[in-house]
A and B are shown apart, each in its own frame.
Chain A
Amino acid sequence: MSQTIHIFKKDVRRFSWEIALSLLLMALYGWCQPAFWEPPEVFLMKHGQSGNFRYMGSMLLGPLLVLWWMVMLVRIVQEEAPAGDRQFWVTRPYRWPNLLVAKALLFLMMVNIPLFLVQLCLLAAAGFPPLHSLGRLLVLHLTLATLLLPVGALAVIVGGRTQLSRAAIVVLVFLIIWVFAGSSGFDVVVFPAGGKATAWDWAGRWLLICIPLVVILRQYALRKTAQARWILVGGALVITAVSFAQPRSTLNEAEYPPLAPVSGNDFQVKMQKPSESSHNDFIPGTSREVWISLPLYSEGVALGDVVQVVAFKVTLEAPDGTRWSSDWQSEYGVVQAEPDQAQDSSAKTDRKIQTTMGVDKGFFERNKNSAVNIHLVTAAVLFRDHESPVIVQPDGEFTIQGVGTCALTQESYFSVWCRSTLAPLPMLGVTSRFFKKCPPEKDELAGPPILNTGWVVYGYWGSDFGLSSVRTFTPLMEREKLQQVSAVCKESTITLHRPESPRQFRVESDFQNVKLSELAGQR
């Protein structure tokens, strides 16, 4: 133990500047991070010149910190490198477990503990009890380990800058191949998007932790660099193989049974005629695929119901009987009934589910001018929004029990910004009444209300490299409506939706005699 402390003290002295810089960056990170918790224009208006700096910092400091830690990790390891035949410590009475523990301790004291403290401070500053999030913070640090341990493994198998540069080039080439292959080879779809991690995900994460750990431990204990390098290469291949072996589509059809007619919900997916579709943005195809877009919309969502579309599968059948299937593809869309527009024909547009996919070029070319039949299967989650809505006035921050804190802004456009802990987000919606301007005219107040609902189903904002203990998210509003009316006045009330009792189902639809050429290249 005393040897561990002795080496640790020496490294603290050796890396005092680097440690100071890391702590400074972390303090800055903690100071800047609240810039994410409010809409940029609000934050900038409140904080003036320093707001600009903090806003920039909130975007840059996360990646910068991770990059700096990687550099630091390499330097700390290389101070007493296990690889090579010229390092002085190898012929001194160093005990390898003490050396390894000293290095780990230094990194823990320099990175994990200060970061943990910053994360606790951020939680407290955001208004959340810090101690309730300890478990999730631990997972966050574990995720950080999946990023840093491979760098550590690389550092223990190289002896000096030249080898390190070569190794970095090899890793870069490997990553480029990975990304290239990933764009076509292992583009894994998780249903619903941003949902629970699958066993494959966990396998990948544990491999990312365990393989580097084995390499690091073995290398410190035995210093057999060539073997360690082969283990690392083998590990990278295993992770790649796992990624390739992972099922492309993870939708378990058994979890999405067909919607029973007695369910009281007559949800259907229909398709507009391609010429009626409102958008015509061109999407370029590739050498193997042609992009087509299905202008779908939904009908039959009962009042008080919310349907979240999570995936779809399209099968195209040509007149000669040949078929092409898209397999399950993820989709994001939330549809609900809007009482004021139930009879309105434009409601179709409002409940639009736009679906874009790449069709095999050969199939497309052979059948682009033929009338093909389309068989569509849509997997969705049904929510019942039957709870009494919570109504808040559109002024300042408000708390959503069990979720977090939200703030409204309409400086340049209306938006709702929310922050929460890292706990999973429930289905959450925000509905507001809109006016053309504030205060609203009397006839506008008397007329039918223009409502717009934004839904949060997954994901979070922020380019903080996953370091922050506070998550930021915003419900997505319908763009079209916001272009027509954007003022939320005192007369508007904000209704929060917390639909519950989710039920998963799938519906099948058939569309006859559709010309593929009319669907091509549209968004």
Chain B
Amino acid sequence: MSSAIRTENLSKSFLSVRAVRQMNLEISHGAIYALVGPNGAGKTTMIKVLMNILHPTRGTAEVLGIDSSKLRGDWFAQIGYVSENQQQPEWMRVDQFFAYLRPFYPTWDREVERSLIRQMQLPLDRKLKHLSRGMKMKAALASSLAYRPKLIVLDEPFTGLDPLVRDELIESLLERASEATILISSHDLAEIESFSSHVGYMEEGQLKFSEEMSSLTNRFRDVQVTLNAAIAALPNLPSSWLQPVISGTAVQFIESRFQPDTTEKLVRATFGEVRDVTFNPMSLRAIFLAMAKIGRRTD
């Protein structure tokens, strides 16, 4: 399967600040890819480089098979980009905004437009500047979905939105998911978990991991070990066991390479006399928090 987005050793620096470092990312066609990471991880910069808003310092990026630095003009008729901090022509009314954008897109579908306006309950006679933040985001999303783009790129679309609006946005997005590849950067991990097919974790400008959502949730486990006797110090642990904590006879850690057959044997071999071991599945939020903590500790 060819890639909708592919980067190779992509770096972007602002003077001495290295916002994106040696990033290698591949997103398949049809994927719903969630790019997560703490604030300042470089997610927005990465997306801006992909959209040719910023120029890479080093490396290459391809979007829909074209070098991202050549992405302009007609190419954007296949891409829908929505960002929380994007300026819109706020002096326009919602209906004027749609009417203005329509001729730019040969594939603009009036039916889809009407359905999106209905679904999102957009007030056509109001100026964009008079809309609430959530409404503005809905208008931006609707204007980026009405032409059935092959690639939808959303940069922090849910920030500051109430759950109801968030659900409506996701609903609209999912209705079009079968037609497009979606790249979404967000902090709203609970929502992302519910619909993303892939996830990538960025920290300090680097992509720490990138894989299918199911594979990620399968390989992370919250491990609780109960020993027969208390131990003073931890023995040497495998590198995939993260954030180990001892409390008397209880040891807790996060296993980042969980395998049902082998992990329990490895635990017993490491700690000796083990009374009980439990492996609890982790939510994306818990995985994200754990990764973020490890990142901060390494600093």
Contact status B53-A3, CB under 8 Å: no
Contacts of A224 in B (CB 8 A): 55
CB 8 Å contact bits of B74-116 with A (1 = contact, 0 = none): 1111010101011111010000000011011100000000000
B260 interfacial by beta-carbon distance below 8 Å: no
Partner of B105, one of A86, A88, A91, A93: A93
Contact status A85-B48, CB under 8 Å: yes
Partner of A3, one of B48, B88, B104: B104
The docked-state distance in angstroms from the alpha carbon of A69 to that of B92 is 23
Interface residues on chain A, number (Cβ under 8 Å): 18
Partner of B104, one of A86, A90, A92: A92
Partner of B91, one of A3, A14, A86, A95: A14
B51 interfacial by beta-carbon distance below 8 Å: yes
Contacts of B85 in A (CB 8 A): 86
Chain A residue with minimal CB distance to B96?
A13
Residues of chain A from 78 to 113 with CB closer than 8 A to chain B in the complex: 79, 85-88, 90-96
Given contacts A10-B100, A86-B86, contact A93 B74 (CB under 8 A): yes
Contacts of A93 in B (CB 8 A): 73-77, 104-105
Q: Which residues of B contact A (CB under 8 A)?
A: 48, 51-55, 72-77, 79, 81, 83, 85-89, 91, 100-101, 103-105
Instruction: Jot down 20 A-B pairs with beta carbons below 8 A, ordered by A.
Output: A3-B103, A6-B100, A79-B89, A86-B86, A86-B87, A87-B87, A88-B88, A88-B89, A91-B53, A91-B76, A91-B79, A91-B86, A92-B76, A93-B75, A93-B77, A95-B73, A95-B74, A96-B72, A96-B73, A224-B55
The docked-state distance in angstroms from the alpha carbon of A85 to that of B45 is 10
A2 interfacial by beta-carbon distance below 8 Å: yes
Instruction: Tell me which of B54, B79, B87, B88 has the highest count of chain A C-beta atoms within 10 A of its own C-beta.
Output: B87
- A87 to chain B minimum Cβ distance, whole angstroms, is 6
Contacts of B76 in A (CB 8 A): 91-94
Q: Which residues of A contact B (CB under 8 A)?
A: 2-3, 6, 10, 14, 79, 85-88, 90-96, 224
- A74 to chain B minimum Cβ distance, whole angstroms, is 16
Contacts of A95 in B (CB 8 A): 73-74
What are the 9 tightest A-B residue pairs by CB atom distance, in nearest-first order? A91-B81, A93-B77, A95-B73, A93-B76, A93-B104, A85-B53, A86-B87, A93-B74, A91-B51
Other contacts beyond A88-B87, A93-B73, A96-B73: 18, CB < 8 A: A2-B103, A3-B104, A6-B100, A6-B103, A10-B100, A85-B48, A86-B87, A88-B86, A88-B88, A90-B52, A91-B79, A92-B101, A93-B74, A93-B76, A93-B77, A93-B105, A94-B73, A95-B73
Contacts of A91 in B (CB 8 A): 51, 53, 76, 79, 81, 86
The docked-state distance in angstroms from the alpha carbon of A85 to that of B51 is 10
Contacts of B73 in A (CB 8 A): 93-96
Contact status B104-A94, CB under 8 Å: yes
The docked-state distance in angstroms from the alpha carbon of A96 to that of B105 is 16
The docked-state distance in angstroms from the alpha carbon of A268 to that of B87 is 73
Contacts of B72 in A (CB 8 A): 96
Instruction: Tell me which of A88, A95, A96, A224 has the highest count of chain B C-beta atoms within 10 A of its own C-beta.
Output: A88
Contacts of A2 in B (CB 8 A): 103
The docked-state distance in angstroms from the alpha carbon of A30 to that of B61 is 56
Chain A residue with minimal CB distance to B90?
A88
Chain B residue with minimal CB distance to A2?
B103
The docked-state distance in angstroms from the alpha carbon of A79 to that of B87 is 10
Contacts of A79 in B (CB 8 A): 89
- A89 to chain B minimum Cβ distance, whole angstroms, is 9
Chain A residue with minimal CB distance to B81?
A91
Chain B residue with minimal CB distance to A94?
B73
The docked-state distance in angstroms from the alpha carbon of A87 to that of B86 is 6
- A439 to chain B minimum Cβ distance, whole angstroms, is 70
- B236 to chain A minimum Cβ distance, whole angstroms, is 47
Chain B residue with minimal CB distance to A80?
B89
Contacts of B48 in A (CB 8 A): 85
Contacts of B54 in A (CB 8 A): 85
The docked-state distance in angstroms from the alpha carbon of A95 to that of B77 is 11
